Amino acid sequence: MKMKVVLPIFLLLAISCNKAPFSANRTNVILISLDTVRRDCWGQLVGSKHLDMPNIIAIYKRFKGIIFTNAFSVSHYSTPSHMSVFTGLSPVVHSILEIKKGSLPPTIKTLAEILQQKGYTTLAFNSNPVLAQEVGFHRGFEVFINVRRKLAPAEHLIKEAVKYLKIARQKRSPFFAFFNFMDAHADRSDIGQNFLPYYSPPKYRRNVKVSKQEFCIDQKCAIQWLKEINNRRISVPQETVDKVENLYRAGVKYLDHQLVGLFSFFDKEGISKDSLIIIFSDHGEEFREHGFFDHVQPFVETIAIPLMVMIPKQEKPKIVKAPVSITDIFATVLEYLDIPPPNYKLDSVSLLQSDLRSKRLILGVSHPASEFTFFTVDFPLSLKISPHKNKTKLFHLIQDPFEQNDLASISRNRVADTKSRFHKKLEYLIKKRDKIYEDWPREQPYSFSPELEKTLQALGYL
Ligand SMILES: [Zn+2]
């Protein structure tokens, strides 16, 4: 196991004495990022035939959670999405789009920094290498642990977290804990050894019959096979696509099972009843619904995300259909704890507001390699925009939940109307970004440790 810790465990007990006295309520805050988990893994509550996370749904019922069935990310890959969770800002504003370009300016405050200032013990348990300290993801965390292990990372991440949380629990101050689980992500840890694009222990994938070299091409296997199929636009029989998807879902089921252990620990320690817990994913995954594997384009299978909020003393479980954004997690935490937001305008509204607007434009950015630069959800309309190619696609998410019928050529008025709302919002966000970045170079040079550089290269990020 390779691990990087900002602060050794024995110092954790000693750090609260220099902090501001804690005066508000003692609610702990727990954010759980299920990296790459598609919304449709949550079954019929979110309108899906797949139930890959029955334990999460049981937790929803037991904890009386609030599930948001129309939650959208602001990107289809990890770096900008997570930074939007941490800052409550659109990726256009925080500008952390790629891990090797720039770091967060000090004028932007992260959730961990704000909570740390309020006396919280702040802990991160992370298995995603792109949530790199060099970019600013570590800011405000007293402990930032990266767990990178060949197989079964959820088990190890939870084991580490339990050690630290037990200590944090002994302190008078509440804690903020962030988790990132990469178990649903294409297998990045065992490249060329298990030959499968997604890892899960054998018992979770016993119904998927695969031969040893099935996911290898020119000696490139597993995650590299997915990338080769994408890059070379190779056609794949539907039977193979189904196997890939089933292997992915096996990984999600494994993660779901592991989370039972984490929540049992929360119950045992009494954490469940005095914590604000938010479970979400940063983006989904593609199985060639729009021609590719992985999560390389902004279609509904990658931008629709599962999202659940659990607050102490919620009377009954609730389903909310209003469109919401991943950026809203930030405002939800601050509002619930009665902490004032930073003095710049956020792109975030509390998910606990009783009158969440049904008309809200969610603006997202794509990976630079994607055909589309931006996307918006102006629910139920979903627009993909490629300004340099002058290309637009429009879908109606209620009539066409899988985004299969492009309406751009037959609904020109709708395209024009949504595009004009998009342009107005984009202009506003760019102005805001320029103000925040006034004294901060947008592309700061920095270097990664050789170990991280190697991991990122293997994943194809660099
Ligand atoms: Zn991700």
282 CA distance to ligand 1 centroid (A)?
5
127: tokens are 């298995």
Q: What is the mean pLDDT of residues 167-191?
A: 87
74 CA distance to ligand 1 centroid (A)?
12
Those residues with Cβ within 8 angstroms of residue 68's Cβ, 6 or more apart along the chain or in another chain: 307, 308, 309, 320, 322, 324, 351
pLDDT tens string 201-210: 889 999 999 8
193 CA distance to ligand 1 centroid (A)?
23
419 close to 383: Cβ distance less than 8 angstroms: yes
d(CA 44, CA 50): 7
CATH number of 24-357: 3.40.720.10
- Give whole-number Cα distances, 258 to 128, 180, 253, 281, 282, in Å: 17, 13, 9, 16, 19
268 CA distance to ligand 1 centroid (A)?
30
373 CA distance to ligand 1 centroid (A)?
18
316 CA distance to ligand 1 centroid (A)?
31
H helix or E strand, kind and range, residue 450: helix 450-459
- pLDDT for the residue 17: 43
d(CA 316, CA 67): 12
Q: What is the average pLDDT value for the chain, to the nearest integer?
A: 88
19 CA distance to ligand 1 centroid (A)?
33
Q: What is the mean pLDDT of residues 375-397?
A: 91
pLDDT tens string 86-97: 999 999 999 888
Percentage of the chain with pLDDT > 70? Answer: 87
290 CA distance to ligand 1 centroid (A)?
19
- pLDDT for the residue 453: 59
Q: What is the mean pLDDT of residues 408-418?
A: 92
163 CA distance to ligand 1 centroid (A)?
25
Question: Is residue 148 over pLDDT 80?
Answer: no
8-state DSSP, 109:
P
28: tokens are 């702990």
185 CA distance to ligand 1 centroid (A)?
7
pLDDT tens string 265-281: 999 999 988 999 999 99
Instruction: State the pLDDT confidence band at 2, using cuts at 50, 70 and 90.
Output: very low
Question: Is residue 5 over pLDDT 70?
Answer: no
156 CA distance to ligand 1 centroid (A)?
19
What SS3 class is residue 308? strand
283 CA distance to ligand 1 centroid (A)?
6
22 CA distance to ligand 1 centroid (A)?
33
414 CA distance to ligand 1 centroid (A)?
31
35 CA distance to ligand 1 centroid (A)?
5
- pLDDT for the residue 193: 61
299 CA distance to ligand 1 centroid (A)?
15
Q: What is the mean pLDDT of residues 231-245?
A: 95
251 CA distance to ligand 1 centroid (A)?
15
pTM of the model: 0.91
- pLDDT for the residue 458: 55
Question: Is residue 7 over pLDDT 80?
Answer: no
- pLDDT for the residue 51: 96
Instruction: State the pLDDT confidence band at 445, using cuts at 50, 70 and 90.
Output: very low
What SS3 class is residue 400? coil
Question: Is residue 227 over pLDDT 80?
Answer: yes
Residue 365: beta bridge partners?
A: 75, 374
DSSP states of 416-438: HHHHHHHHHHHHHHHHHHHHHTT
Strands 391-396 and 381-386: antiparallel
Ordered alpha helix ranges (H), 323-411? 328-337
443 CA distance to ligand 1 centroid (A)?
22
367 CA distance to ligand 1 centroid (A)?
12
Instruction: State the pLDDT confidence band at 190, using cuts at 50, 70 and 90.
Output: low
pLDDT tens string 79-124: 999 999 999 999 999 988 876 667 888 999 999 999 999 999 999 9
Query: Edge-to-edge strand order for the sheet containing 374-378?
Result: 361-365, 374-378, 381-386, 391-396
d(CA 57, CA 42): 7
313 CA distance to ligand 1 centroid (A)?
31
Those residues with Cβ within 8 angstroms of residue 396's Cβ, 6 or more apart along the chain or in another chain: 380, 381, 382, 405, 407
d(CA 392, CA 383): 7
91 CA distance to ligand 1 centroid (A)?
14
346 CA distance to ligand 1 centroid (A)?
22
Strands 374-378 and 361-365: antiparallel
- pLDDT for the residue 172: 84
8-state DSSP, 458:
H
Name which of 220, 214, 265, 272 is nearest 244 in CA terms.
Answer: 214
**Domain boundaries in the chain?**
24-357
Instruction: State the pLDDT confidence band at 223, using cuts at 50, 70 and 90.
Output: confident
Within 10 Å of residue 171's Cβ, how many Cβ atoms? Answer: 16
- pLDDT for the residue 22: 47
Question: Is residue 16 over pLDDT 90?
Answer: no
297 CA distance to ligand 1 centroid (A)?
13
Q: What is the mean pLDDT of residues 314-328?
A: 95
Question: Is residue 437 over pLDDT 60?
Answer: yes
| Length of the chain (residues) | 462
127 CA distance to ligand 1 centroid (A)?
10
308 CA distance to ligand 1 centroid (A)?
17
- pLDDT for the residue 1: 43
Question: Is residue 151 over pLDDT 90?
Answer: no
186 CA distance to ligand 1 centroid (A)?
10
DSSP states of 7-61: S-HHHHTTGGGGSPPP-S---EEEEEEETT--GGGBGGGGT-S-BS-HHHHHHHH
66 CA distance to ligand 1 centroid (A)?
23
- pLDDT for the residue 397: 96
Question: Is residue 405 over pLDDT 70?
Answer: yes
Q: What is the mean pLDDT of residues 352-373?
A: 84
Burial category of 384 from C-beta neighbours within 10 Å (exposed 0-12, middle 13-18, buried 19 and up): buried
Instruction: State the pLDDT confidence band at 456, using cuts at 50, 70 and 90.
Output: low
Q: What is the mean pLDDT of residues 19-41?
A: 82
Kindly report each contact of residues 451-456 with a partner whose C-beta sits within 8 Å and lies 24 or more positions away, as own/partner: 451/2, 452/129, 452/132, 455/129, 455/148, 455/188, 456/99, 456/129, 456/130
Q: What is the mean pLDDT of residues 66-70?
A: 97
Question: Is residue 240 over pLDDT 50?
Answer: yes
36 CA distance to ligand 1 centroid (A)?
5
130 CA distance to ligand 1 centroid (A)?
9
Q: What is the mean pLDDT of residues 218-232?
A: 89
77 CA distance to ligand 1 centroid (A)?
5
135 CA distance to ligand 1 centroid (A)?
15
Question: Is residue 251 over pLDDT 90?
Answer: yes
68 close to 351: Cβ distance less than 8 angstroms: yes
- pLDDT for the residue 3: 47
Beta strands in 270-403 (DSSP E): 275-280, 286-287, 293-294, 304-305, 307-310, 318-320, 324-325, 361-365, 374-378, 381-386, 391-396
74 close to 365: Cβ distance less than 8 angstroms: yes
Within 10 Å of residue 449's Cβ, how many Cβ atoms? Answer: 12
Question: Is residue 246 over pLDDT 90?
Answer: yes
Within 10 Å of residue 444's Cβ, how many Cβ atoms? Answer: 14
Ordered alpha helix ranges (H), 71-222? 78-87, 91-94, 111-117, 153-170
Strands 143-146 and 121-126: parallel
